[in-house]
């Protein structure tokens, strides 16, 4: 199995949900806050300098089988990428084992 974590702007969550077939995937969606290294934390807000502590983001965790994860990542990049700083990040981890609690 493979775990894919996608951090995106909140309005892009539905786009990712539409991409997935849910036949071989499990998905968890969380609202998170954070700030990356490419964002200047000092911004102008109504003419005054304001320090941004964090920005609203959505974290989408997808569990899928090895072999299908590359296609999922490719589709996410095609639909989400705008070329603007803050588009998000994708993290990929291999899962050695999963145990279902019944």
Q: Quick check: is 102 in a domain?
A: no
Please write the tens of the pLDDT for every residue from 78-93.
Answer: 999 888 877 889 999 9
Q: What is the pLDDT of residue 26?
A: 87
Distance CA 51, CA 41 (A): 5
| Other Cβ atoms closer than 10 A to 97 | 5
Q: Mean pLDDT over residues 30-49, rounded?
A: 66
Q: What CATH number corresponds to the domain at position 78? A: 3.30.70.120
72: its two tokens = 């999922």
pTM here?
A: 0.80
Percent over 90 (pLDDT), the chain: 47
| Reported confidence tier of residue 44, pLDDT bands at 50, 70, 90 | very low
Name the domain count of the chain: 1
Domain of residue 79, residue span: 2-40+48-94
What DSSP assignment string belongs to 19-66?
Answer: H--SSS-EEEEEEEEE--TTS-SEEEETTEEEE---EEEEEEEEEE-T
Mean pLDDT of the chain: 84
Does any domain span residue 58? yes
């Amino acid at each position: 199995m493979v775990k894919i974590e996608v951090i995106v702007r909140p309005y892009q969550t539905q786009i990712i949900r539409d991409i997935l077939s849910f036949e071989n995937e499990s998905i968890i969606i969380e609202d998170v806050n954070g700030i990356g290294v490419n964002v200047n934390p000092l911004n102008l807000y109504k003419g005054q300098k304001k320090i941004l502590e964090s920005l609203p983001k959505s974290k989408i965790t997808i569990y899928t089988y090895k072999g299908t994860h590359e296609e999922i990542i490719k589709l996410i990049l095609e639909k989400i990428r705008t070329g603007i700083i803050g588009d998000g990040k994708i993290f990929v981890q291999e899962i050695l084992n999963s145990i279902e609690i019944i």
